[in-house]
């Protein structure tokens, strides 16, 4: 502010004029500089005030004063705040006043007056454009920062959902099997010690598996590394899953249609998790005696069906549970389709169709 006021006063004193500058002229000339501390709060107010004081100065003083010094900061601040049109209009009025002042006051030829005003017009225009350029850069930087924040938040939310699905898929199945084995142990504690011991061993194994899975997931959350808590399961690893289900007393039958072939990892993981979650629901809710698991290797899709002979009601596989939600999210993510529902004659069926790379049709059936 002091620099601008000093520059204005020196310009008034040193400018060629027809009389000695008086105190009024010096006072009016200094006022635009005194408005500058308000430019961040009210850039347009400071600009209009400075322009008005310039008009008053030209009307009352006999001294010539370039508008560049008193209007430089207000014009830049207004353009920087996004008031480009207002800044351009004020710059135009200032240049017009600069050109008309010597013509009206001293009878200077119009051509000479315009020639004097053109350099000042260029300086004022440059100040306005500089303010607009800085504003655009700051706006772009803010937009980029916000976009990065949104992307980071989306990645974090997606990672949380992925970890939640993995934990639910693994722990729900493990704990469901452990609960059944614990019930068996309680029922056979006195009558069949061997069966009780076997069931307790299964519970201990389930506990170890659950603890290992939790440790791996907590380690992932602490390190922040972009990796799975555990290696992604494949359809070829269903045997252990089915053995666990059979260990609860459930009769599990499997059927494979077509020739098994390597599939994309996302398809295999989704198929495995569908079987896992479906078996968990059967063990926990369905009160079923048997379940049939069918895998169909088609040319452009893998079909996964899990059908039980339990109650066949909504309670046997609650739609609002995280397991059903996780299955739908997985299937939707790879462009597949999931259908679930009770069967007319009793029981419940989960059927998914998962698209995959086409293969030459080779038809043989295998049942186990």
Q: What is the mean pLDDT of residues 343-361?
A: 82
Instruction: List the domain boundaries for the chain.
Output: 2-141, 235-368
Res 64: pLDDT: 63
| 272 and 298 Cβ atoms separated by less than 8 Å | no
39-43, 108-112, 342-346, 359-363: the lowest-pLDDT one: 359-363
78-82, 152-156, 317-321, 332-336: the lowest-pLDDT one: 317-321
| Domain formed by 235-368, architecture | 2-Layer Sandwich (3.30)
Residues 6+ apart with CB under 8 A from 300: 355, 356, 357, 358, 359
Highest mean pLDDT among 118-122, 229-233, 314-318: 118-122
Three-state SS string over the chain comes to CHHHHHHHHHHHHHCCECCCCCHHHHHHHHHHHHCHHHCCCCHHHHHHHHHHHHHHHHHHCCECCCCHHHHHHHHHHHHHCCCHHHHHHHHHHHHHHHHHHHHHHHCCCHHHHHHHHHHHHHHHHHHHHHHHHHHHHHHHHHHHHHHHHHHHHHHHHHHHHHHHHHHHHHHHHHHHHHHHHHHHHHHHCCCCHHHHHHHHHHHHHHHHHHHHHHHHHHHHHHHCCCCCCCCCCCHHHHHHHHHHHHCCCCEEEEEEECCCCCCCHHHHHHHHHHHHHHHHHHHHHHCCCEEEEEEEECCCEEEEEEEECCCCCHHHCCCCCHHHHHHHHHHHHCCCEEEEEECCCCCEEEEEEEECCCCCCCCCEEEC
Task: Indicate whether 100 pLDDT > 80.
Answer: no
Q: What is the pLDDT of residues 144-198, one digit of tens each?
A: 888 888 888 888 877 777 777 777 766 766 776 677 677 767 777 777 788 788 7
Instruction: Name the average pLDDT for the chain.
Output: 77
Res 188: pLDDT: 78
Task: Indicate whether 226 pLDDT > 60.
Answer: no
Q: What is the pLDDT of residues 261-303, one digit of tens each?
A: 888 888 988 899 899 888 888 887 778 889 999 999 998 999 9
Q: What is the pLDDT of residues 8-52, one digit of tens each?
A: 444 444 455 544 455 555 666 567 767 778 888 888 888 888 888
Res 121: pLDDT: 83
How much of the chain, in percent, has pLDDT values that exceed 90?
12
Highest mean pLDDT among 110-114, 119-123, 139-143, 195-199: 139-143
């Amino acid at each position: 502010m002091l620099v601008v006021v000093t520059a204005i006063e020196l310009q008034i004193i040193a400018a060629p004029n027809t009389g000695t500058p008086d105190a009024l002229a010096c006072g009016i000339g200094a006022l635009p500089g005194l408005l500058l501390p308000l430019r961040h709060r009210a850039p347009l107010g400071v600009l209009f005030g400075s322009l008005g004081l310039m008009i008053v100065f030209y009307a009352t003083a006999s001294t010539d004063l370039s508008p560049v010094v008193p209007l430089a900061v207000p014009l830049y601040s207004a353009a920087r705040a996004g008031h480009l049109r207002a800044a351009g209009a004020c710059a135009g009025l200032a240049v017009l006043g600069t050109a008309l002042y010597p013509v009206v006051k001293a009878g200077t030829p119009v051509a000479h007056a315009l020639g004097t005003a053109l350099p000042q017009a260029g300086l004022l225009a440059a100040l306005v454009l500089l303010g607009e350029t800085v504003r655009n850069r700051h706006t772009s930087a803010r937009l980029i920062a916000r976009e990065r924040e949104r992307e980071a938040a989306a990645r974090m939310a997606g990672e949380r959902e992925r970890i939640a699905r993995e934990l639910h898929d693994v722990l729900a199945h493990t704990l469901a099997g452990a609960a059944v084995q614990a019930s068996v142990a309680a029922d056979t504690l006195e009558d069949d010690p061997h069966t009780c011991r076997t069931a307790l061993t299964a519970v201990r194994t389930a506990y170890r598996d659950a603890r290992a899975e939790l440790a791996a997931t907590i380690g992932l959350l602490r390190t922040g590394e972009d990796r799975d808590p555990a290696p992604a399961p494949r359809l070829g690893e269903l045997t252990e899953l089915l053995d666990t289900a059979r260990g609860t007393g459930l009769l599990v039958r499997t059927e494979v249609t077509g020739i098994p072939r390597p599939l994309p990892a996302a398809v295999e993981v989704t198929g495995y998790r569908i079987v896992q979650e479906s078996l968990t629901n059967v063990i926990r809710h369905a009160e079923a005696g048997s379940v049939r698991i069918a895998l169909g290797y088609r040319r452009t899709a893998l079909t996964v069906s899990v059908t039980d002979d339990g109650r066949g009601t909504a309670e046997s596989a609650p739609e609002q549970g995280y397991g059903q939600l996780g299955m739908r999210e997985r299937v939707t993510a790879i462009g597949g389709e999931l259908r679930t529902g009770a069967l007319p004659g009793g029981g419940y069926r989960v059927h998914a169709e998962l698209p995959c790379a086409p293969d030459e049709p080779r038809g043989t059936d295998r049942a186990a």
